[in-house]
Structure 1
Amino acid sequence: MNKKELFYFIGKCLTIQKHSDFRDEMIRKVDKVDWYDFVSLCSDHLVLPAIYVRLVKANVLGYLPDELVDHLRQIYEMNTERNRKILTQVSAITELLNKESIKPTFLKGVAYILDDVYSDVGERMMNDIDFLVDETDYLKCAGLLKSKGYQQEEETPGYIDVADSKHYPRLFHPEWVAAVEIHRIPVDQAYLNQFNSSLIDQEKVIAKKLSGCYVPSDKHKLLHSFIHSQLSNEGHLYGMISLRGLCDLSKLAERYSLNEVLPFIEPKRKAIAYFALADRILGEERAFFGRRNIAYSILKVKHALGLRFKIFRTIFRSLIFFSQRIIGGYILLPISAIFFKRKREYLMRRLRDDSWLKNHRQIWGHFFSRRL
């Protein structure tokens, strides 16, 4: 089983409860699967707890190697404990903000848990606590958290204006498990026309598991998931698909139709491509996405080549990195600075700031030293 075949195998494991034929196939292939590679790939994509929950529900653990089952159970139990601590932290943050008449809207993983997208608290792995507040409360919230012992990991560089950032620099607390990101806006500036605070406010709902806070509607959860995965993180550009993202997509699609969210997404061809490839990987069969487009074909090929050939990943990602840095940073930005005062001021702030020059060198150093 090569890496592409293993990736698709894991995708079907994430929807195994829907496919009795795959359950039987999995049992037959137990001795043919490299379970070390299976665990490694699941770990890279942060889906080991989800895999454990799915396999328990499918009643297949008894057919798997004991060592594998023990490892999956241990990871699931550790994640369950961590998520419970995160929810306690979320409750403390909500209580603190409510005292100042601020009701946060939690985003992404925390929102999925608070709104029962994942009914099992240990099923989904979470990194940060992301929440959105009104722009007028944005800096105030950061001050409130800092007054309770939260602190920035690093000092904000002088060329960055925190007041205009998408979110406040990540805040950590020595007694809590998760970092916190306070959002002024939910997504990068380029995508605010289709997903912004005003739209979220129109449909946000009270969190099912915690009073005093909100979560986005299911439609907006789906929209945010796509923008974050395929646009902001450039998944479509690089041909990268996150198994955790597909797991989120599958769970959200059980509550809100992908067909119905599509009219609110731009560009639609990229959304169709992503949803169609997700269906293929997860073994889903949605009739709408039988309509393949050229974007789907390209995404499927890039994803497959990236999985199977390291040389492709290295060359393809290097070409994108160099073009973005050289064309976007060294050519287009200086040209735009000639015509736009704000761009000119931003460029001058960066060039005068020693921390930017240091960070810039680190980006190039990281690129040449990393394992692609």
Structure 2
Amino acid sequence: MALYVSSKLKHYRWLCKVISPAYLQGKSNLSIPVGDKDWREIIYLASFHGVLPSLFIALRNNQLLDSLPKDLSEALEGFYELNCLFNVQLRDQIISTTRLLNGCGIEPIWLKGAIHLLAPNWRQSSRTMADLDLWIPEPKEQLLAIEILTNDGYFIQPESVGKDYRLSQHYAPIIKSGQPARLEIHRHIVTPFCCALLNDEDALKKVVRGDKEGCSFGILSTEDQIMQSYLQCTEQGADCFNPRNTVGLMKMVDFLERFSSPDHLEKWFSENPQLNGEPWRLKARQFHSHLNCYFSIDYNGKKNSSYMRQVVFALNFPRLDGIYYIIKHGSFLLWRRKLGALNNWPGKLYRKLVFLKSL
């Protein structure tokens, strides 16, 4: 058992270090795993965290692909190329959605991963995504956009029907047959709880206007993109069944890749001292601790040792941690009366248990 649990931790640590931008790390040698069992676990982790394309790019940039078995390097290249092809479909969806909204006088502001597909080098992007987020600042235009997209064939995805999105930053996700991703129309850029860090009104003044293929849209300023990415990794990091509910690695890489150097990263944190105050300090310290331990990002502040011990436990014993999460989160939802209809409980619990078996 000791060997089993230590390998889980070792593979996670290795993956984080490889996909972390090399220019943000201190100098160190990077060894290549040699066993089939090692690579099976690494591929599983990279797939689960949405970083398989990033893993290929990192190994290629570090000239390490030749050190891998040929079939493995070819498989990683295949995953990357498949993601590039999928990104073509996603970009087509962005353009068609923008053109549809422009036709009714609405100029969407694209957020998060969608921004990568509007950049000049979008074809080489290793970013993975399952949804496309767009913000429409004017409430009346939000409702009009939903009506336009509904008439075009979009509908609320089944698992979101009946859920209460009134306090969310976006409306219920919508999907359309034949389109690769769901759309999330944002009322606000971030949750109301986080608006003190990224305010709609201030961000709107700095929006950068763009035009692609005759479509008019906006994207957030570089500073606001970084802040939204940071919040996706901290206050809005809601990914379940990652180590002790840490955010997915894809989002951490997305944040780190927005910086050009360690000085740039340090400067951004120094220019946002409010992150070290209440109520943001806990998540900020957890995030810093994780980046320092697993991504080799220098950090001179106080580490959250208790949180990191919990991460280690979750990596070593993922099923036990998953069971603990189900009990804890289920109790919380029961206490807050958010578990939904009683007849839906068995199905929800069954899906969680099936997922636990795959860990």
Q: 1:329 to 1:132 in 2, by over 3 A?
A: same
Closer, same or farther in 2 for the Cα pair 1:182/1:357, shift >3 Å? Answer: farther
Q: Contact 1:223–1:261 at 8 Å: present in 2 too?
A: no
Partner of 1:250: 256
SS state at 2:63 partner: coil
Q: Is the Cα–Cα contact under 8 Å of residues 56 and 77 in structure 2 kept in the other structure?
A: yes
Aligned to 1:168: 171
The answer to whether structure 1 residue 64 and structure 2 residue 103 are counterparts is: no
Greater shift in the superposed pair: 174-183 or 262-271? 262-271
| Pick aligned residue for 1:200 from 196, 203, 206 | 203
Q: Which moved more, 1:199-208 or 1:171-180?
A: 199-208
- In 2, Cα distance between the equivalents of 1:253 and 1:318? 36
Letter in 1 for 2:9: K
Inter-CA distance 36–163: structure 2 relative to 1 (3 Å threshold): closer
Q: For the structure 1 residues 133 and 278, does the alpha-carbon distance in structure 2 shift closer, same or farther, using more than 3 Å as the test?
A: same
Residue 307 of structure 1 corresponds to 315
Is the 1:187–1:195 Cα contact (8 Å) retained in structure 2? yes
Counterpart position of 1:8: 13
The alpha-carbon deviation at position 370 of structure 1 amounts to: 4.5
Q: Distance in 1 between matches of 2:307 and 2:210?
A: 35
The equivalent position to 1:224 in structure 2, one of 208, 228, 232, is 228
Distance 1:174 1:299 in 2: 42
Distance, in Å, in 2 between the alignment partners of 1:15 and 1:47 is 11
Is contact 2:238-2:247 (8 Å) kept? no
Equivalent runs, 1:1-372 vs 2, <5 Å = 2-15=7-20, 17-18=22-23, 22=28, 24-27=29-32, 29-30=33-34, 34-115=38-119, 121-134=124-137, 135-154=139-158, 157=161, 160=164, 166-207=169-210, 212-234=216-238, 238-254=244-260, 257-260=267-270, 262-265=272-275, 266-285=279-298, 289-293=299-303, 296-310=304-318, 312-329=320-337, 356=341, 358-359=343-344, 362-367=347-352, 370-371=355-356
The answer as to whether partners of 1:239 and 1:302 remain within 8 angstroms in 2 is no
Out of 226-235 and 94-103, give the one that drifted further.
Answer: 226-235
1 CA distance for matches of 2:243 and 2:69?
38
CA distance in 2, matches of 1:188, 1:199: 15
Amino acid at match of 2:297: E
Give the CA deviation at 1:358: 4.5
Counterpart in the other structure of 2:3: none
SS of the equivalent of 1:114 reads coil
Residue 343 of structure 1 is matched in structure 2 by none
Greater Rg over alpha carbons, structure: 1
TM-superposition CA deviations, 1:33-82 (whole Å, max 9, x none): 71111111111111010111111111111111111111101111110001
- The 8 Å contact of residues 97 and 104 in structure 1, kept in 2 or not, is answered as yes
Q: TM-score, normalised by structure 2?
A: 0.82
Asked if the contact 1:132/1:183 (under 8 Å) is kept, the reply is yes
Q: CA deviation at 1:246?
A: 1.7
Worse overlay, 30-39 or 358-367: 358-367
Q: Are residues 87 and 234 of structure 1, via their aligned partners in 2, closer, same or farther at CA, if it must alter by over 3 Å?
A: closer
Contact 1:273 1:292 in 2 (8 A): no
Higher normalized contact order (CA 8 Å, seq sep 6+, divided by chain length): 2
Query: Retained in 2: the 8 A contact 1:52–1:76?
Result: yes
For 2:77 and 2:158, locate their aligned partners in 1 and report how far apart those are by CA, in whole Å.
36
| Contact 1:153 1:172 (8 Å CA) reproduced | yes
- 2-side partners of 1:155 and 1:325: how far apart? 18
Contact 1:239 1:306 in 2 (8 A): no
Change (3 A) 1:205 1:174: same
Give distance in 1, aligned partners of 2:306 and 2:245: 8
- How far apart are the structure 2 equivalents of 1:316 and 1:185? 33
When residues 159 and 81 of structure 1 are mapped into structure 2, their CA distance, relative to the original with a 3 A threshold, is closer
Give the alignment's Cα RMSD to 1 decimal.
Answer: 3.2
TM-score, with structure 1 as normaliser: 0.79
Within 2, Cα distance between the matches of 1:208 and 1:252?
A: 22
- For 1:321, the aligned partner's letter is H
Aligned residues: 340
Cα separation, 1, equivalents of 2:182 and 2:326: 31
Could you tell me how far 1:368 is from its partner in structure 2?
Answer: 5.5
Choose between structure 1 and 2: higher helix proportion.
1
Note if contact 1:225-1:245 (Cα within 8 Å) is conserved in structure 2: yes
List runs of 5+ in structure 2 lacking aligned partners.
1-5
Query: What's the CA shift for 1:227?
Result: 2.6
The alpha carbon displacement at 1:273 in A equals 2.6
